[in-house]
């Protein structure tokens, strides 16, 4: 919009740990600037996906453009770019930070700095963003802004002399925040005369208009009708819709360097316009793309099988549709001897996996059996080939492989001192390598470990939370592959190996895991008319063995004689229970059994 010079634009985001009040503050800013009328105010405007709202977390990025008249009497355009709050989406966070010149660091004054906040603040500092600390929730009786300010200074090394005390809930400090955005965050550089380069920081698929792309113009100008070229995907499109987010979409004719907006160009799938890609003009291409483009690689895989084999095509169609809106989702058909036809799907992390599963079941009405998540192993064969194995059942046999490497992550935890011992024990049990520990003045501690990702994607997070009564937080990032003596653990049910239950484990843990698995399966698989043996083995060596005794009585015999309605109810209940079962040979195996590895008592 030509009437706004770059000097009066401010682009910023909010960095906050989950529940520290990011959405509430965003709502307040929208209200205070009159961007959203109070009566239209839907609570928490920026989180607009149902699933997000239910889980109370931010998954997709959004943006909002606000007009603000500052104390200097000038009108400013403030673009607030929302960031997802979960480690699975850290690449998207990094791109939205690049689209900003500043960030509000919102910390709950009754809690303190948390691990996820740290990760994002470091990203912001790396990108030279101006950071404004905001101590939120000062209305709470337990708020200790001075203590938390001390913590921010100590952990992050950030000067907090200009920290703003606020309560998003009570509307305290909102004007100060808006003024600070104008005064302290630098305007975008005026590069309007350069060739167009716009950074995609989010996109979503709309079934009528195709993909809608959210971007920040870094250099030059973009107009409606322009033919654009995407520098990473190499694709070309014609812009048929261009606009700003106020925060609902409002069309404009052109956008200049420094501005944030959206466009539609009959783009078929988000994979054609990925987050991080650079938009330029076909007829006047920029010399080089903006730095930092990366394709999001799946870190976690699982198998998805329809319970009813007839739903295989429906599952394929559903995945195809989801893929239009999710460039990070990978899938390919998989045939399992135990489970039949399904798909092997790759995700950014466990949350991403859960979201996709939930959408498949809720929006597409599919009944699925999902196998335990696996990381991607690197196998060097004796022939010198390098293979990436995302499915334990596909691991080459010991005499075909030279070595196996597994992905490692660095995990940062922040916890009250009391729980340090327990969290160290947990990390050690999960093959963690201690790296660092720092006592902070306020009775909290940071802990750094290197851990195999495989140990983190099971129940590490849940264990950390329960051991610290919910007080510890964590963040992790990939640091590379390392060789380990890993073996494949096979599970046999009723004499047949079940490929979907195979797993890759460390040699030293194999016996314990095998035993625990056999016991857990015994607990989870219902009794049958016959005895069901369960065995865990490495190669041909059986390391654990259990059996489920045969069912003696007919369930119906338990009913009151002649009470037909009760009988019906029982049968219905059984039928419902069956829905989540998969027949493996002649044995019905429930969904929980496939996830048993996540619930082994091995911490």
Ligand X SMILES: Nc1nc2c(ncn2[C@@H]2O[C@H](COP(=O)(O)OP(=O)(O)OP(=O)(O)O)[C@@H](O)[C@H]2O)c(=O)[nH]1
Name which of 20 and 65 has its Cβ closer to ligand X. 20
- Shortest reach from residue 51's CB to ligand X, in Å: 12
Name which of 58 and 374 has its Cβ closer to ligand X. 58
- The answer to whether the beta carbons of residues 360 and 302 sit under 8 Å apart is no
- Shortest reach from residue 167's CB to ligand X, in Å: 4
- Angle at which helices 90-98 and 115-126 pack, to 10 degrees? 40
- Shortest reach from residue 29's CB to ligand X, in Å: 12
Based on C-alpha coordinates, what's the Rg of the chain?
Answer: 27
Q: SS3 sequence, 304-357? A: EEECCHHHHHHHHHHHHHHHHCCCCCEEEEEEECCCEEEEEEEECCHHHHHHHH
Name which of 100 and 217 has its Cβ closer to ligand X. 100
Name which of 57 and 454 has its Cβ closer to ligand X. 57
Distances in Å between the Cα of 316 and the Cα atoms of 238, 271, 307, 325, 351 are 30, 18, 14, 15, 21
By rule CB under 6 A, what string of x and - marks binding of each residue 371-410 to ligand X? ----------------------------------------
Is 532 a binder of ligand X (CB under 6 A)?
no
Interface with ligand X (CB under 6 A), residue from 20, 256, 401, 509: 20
Name which of 47 and 390 has its Cβ closer to ligand X. 47
Name which of 43 and 310 has its Cβ closer to ligand X. 43
> What does the block give as tokens for 414?
């922040």
Is 21 a binder of ligand X (CB under 6 A)?
yes
Strand partners, 243: 251, 262
**Site residue total, ligand X (CB under 6 A):** 20
Q: Which stretch binds ligand X (CB under 6 A): 15-23, 308-316, 396-404, 474-482?
A: 15-23
- The answer to whether the beta carbons of residues 319 and 329 sit under 8 Å apart is yes
> What does the block give as tokens for 133?
């600390």
Strand runs (DSSP E) across 70-162, as ranges?
A: 75-81, 102-108, 130-136
Is 212 a binder of ligand X (CB under 6 A)?
no
Is 232 a binder of ligand X (CB under 6 A)?
no
Q: Which stretch binds ligand X (CB under 6 A): 162-170, 188-196, 302-310, 559-567?
A: 162-170
Interface with ligand X (CB under 6 A), residue from 4, 32, 41, 140: 140
Please tell me the distance from the alpha carbon of residue 458 to that of residue 339, in angstroms, as a whole number. Answer: 22
The full length of the chain comes to 603
If DSSP codes are grouped into helix, strand and coil, which group holds residue 563?
coil
If DSSP codes are grouped into helix, strand and coil, which group holds residue 602?
coil
Is 421 a binder of ligand X (CB under 6 A)?
no
- The answer to whether the beta carbons of residues 380 and 318 sit under 8 Å apart is no
> What b-and-e string marks burial along 274-298, b requiring 16 or more CB atoms within 10 Å of the CB?
bbbbbbbbeeebbeebbeebeebeb
Q: What angle do CA 454, 460, 462 make, to 5 degrees?
A: 145
By rule CB under 6 A, what string of x and - marks binding of each residue 170-209 to ligand X? ----------------------------------------
- Shortest reach from residue 31's CB to ligand X, in Å: 13
- Shortest reach from residue 64's CB to ligand X, in Å: 14
- Shortest reach from residue 145's CB to ligand X, in Å: 12
> What does the block give as tokens for 284?
């006047």
- Shortest reach from residue 165's CB to ligand X, in Å: 10
Interface with ligand X (CB under 6 A), residue from 36, 63, 77, 85: 85
Is 169 a binder of ligand X (CB under 6 A)?
yes
Among 393, 365, 411, residue whose Cα is nearest residue 302: 393
If DSSP codes are grouped into helix, strand and coil, which group holds residue 105?
strand
Is 19 a binder of ligand X (CB under 6 A)?
yes
- Shortest reach from residue 249's CB to ligand X, in Å: 22
> What does the block give as tokens for 341?
């036809």
Interface with ligand X (CB under 6 A), residue from 9, 12, 15, 22: 22
> What does the block give as tokens for 57?
């977390």
Strand partners, 435: none
Name which of 139 and 179 has its Cβ closer to ligand X. 139
Is 57 a binder of ligand X (CB under 6 A)?
yes
- Shortest reach from residue 28's CB to ligand X, in Å: 9
Strand partners, 69: 75
> What does the block give as tokens for 448?
């750094």
- Shortest reach from residue 355's CB to ligand X, in Å: 14
- Residues contributing to the site for ligand X (CB under 6 A): 16, 18-24, 47, 56-58, 85, 136-137, 139-140, 167-169
């Amino acid at each position: 919009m030509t009437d706004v010079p770059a000097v009066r634009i401010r682009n910023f985001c909010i960095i906050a740990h989950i529940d520290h009040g990011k959405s509430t503050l965003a709502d307040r800013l929208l209200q205070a600037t009159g961007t959203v009328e109070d009566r239209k105010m839907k609570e928490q405007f920026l989180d607009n996906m149902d699933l997000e709202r239910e889980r109370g977390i931010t998954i997709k990025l959004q943006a909002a453009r606000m007009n603000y008249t500052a104390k200097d009497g000038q009108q400013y355009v403030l673009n607030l770019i929302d960031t997802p709050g979960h480690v699975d989406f850290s690449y998207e966070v990094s791109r939205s930070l690049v689209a900003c010149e500043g960030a509000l660091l919102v910390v709950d004054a009754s809690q303190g700095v948390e691990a996820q906040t740290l990760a994002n603040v470091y990203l912001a500092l790396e990108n030279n963003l101006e950071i404004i600390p905001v101590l939120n929730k000062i209305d709470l009786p337990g708020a200790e802004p001075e203590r938390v300010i001390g913590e921010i200074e100590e952990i992050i090394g950030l000067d907090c002399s200009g920290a703003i005390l606020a309560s998003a809930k009570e509307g305290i400090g909102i004007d100060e925040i808006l003024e600070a955005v104008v005064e302290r965050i630098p305007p975008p550089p005026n590069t309007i005369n350069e060739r167009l380069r716009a950074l995609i920081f989010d996109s979503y698929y709309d079934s009528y208009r195709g993909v809608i792309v959210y971007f920040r113009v870094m250099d030059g100008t973009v107009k409606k009708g322009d033919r654009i070229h995407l520098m990473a995907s190499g694709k070309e499109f014609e812009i048929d819709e261009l606009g700003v987010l106020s925060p609902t979409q409002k069309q404009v004719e052109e956008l200049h360097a420094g501005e944030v907006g959206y466009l539609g160009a009959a783009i078929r799938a988000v994979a054609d316009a990925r987050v991080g890609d650079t938009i330029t003009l076909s007829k006047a291409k920029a010399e080089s793309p903006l730095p930092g483009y990366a394709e999001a690689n799946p870190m976690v895989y699982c198998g998805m099988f329809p319970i009813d084999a007839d739903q295989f095509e429906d599952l394929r169609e559903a995945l195809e549709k989801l893929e239009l809106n999710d460039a990070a989702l990978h899938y390919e058909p998989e045939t399992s001897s135990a489970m039949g036809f399904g798909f092997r799907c790759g995700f950014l992390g466990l949350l991403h996996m859960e979201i996709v599963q939930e959408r498949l079941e809720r929006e597409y009405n599919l009944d699925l059996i999902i196998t335990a998540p696996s990381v991607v192993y690197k196998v060097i064969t004796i022939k010198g080939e390098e293979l990436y194995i995302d499915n334990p059942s596909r691991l080459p046999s010991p005499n075909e492989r030279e070595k196996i490497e597994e992905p490692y992550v660095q995990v940062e935890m922040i916890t009250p001192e009391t729980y340090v011992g327990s969290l160290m024990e947990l990390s050690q049990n999960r093959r963690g390598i201690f790296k660092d520990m720092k006592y902070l003045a306020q009775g909290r501690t940071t802990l750094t470990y290197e851990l195999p990702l495989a140990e983190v994607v099971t129940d590490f997070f849940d264990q950390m939370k329960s051991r610290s009564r919910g007080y510890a937080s964590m963040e992790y990032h990939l640091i590379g592959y390392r060789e380990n003596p890993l073996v494949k653990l096979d599970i046999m049910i009723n004499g047949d190996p079940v490929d979907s239950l195979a797993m890759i484990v460390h040699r030293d843990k194999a016996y314990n895991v095998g035993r625990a698995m056999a016991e857990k399966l015994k607990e989870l698989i219902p009794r049958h008319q016959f005895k069901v043996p369960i065995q865990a083995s490495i190669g041909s060596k059986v390391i654990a063995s259990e059996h489920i005794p045969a069912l003696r009585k007919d369930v119906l015999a338990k009913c009151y004689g002649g009470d037909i309605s009760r009988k019906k109810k029982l049968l219905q209940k059984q039928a419902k229970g069956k829905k989540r079962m998969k027949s493996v040979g002649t044995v019905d195996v429930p969904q929980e059994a496939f996830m048993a590895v996540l619930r082994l008592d091995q911490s």
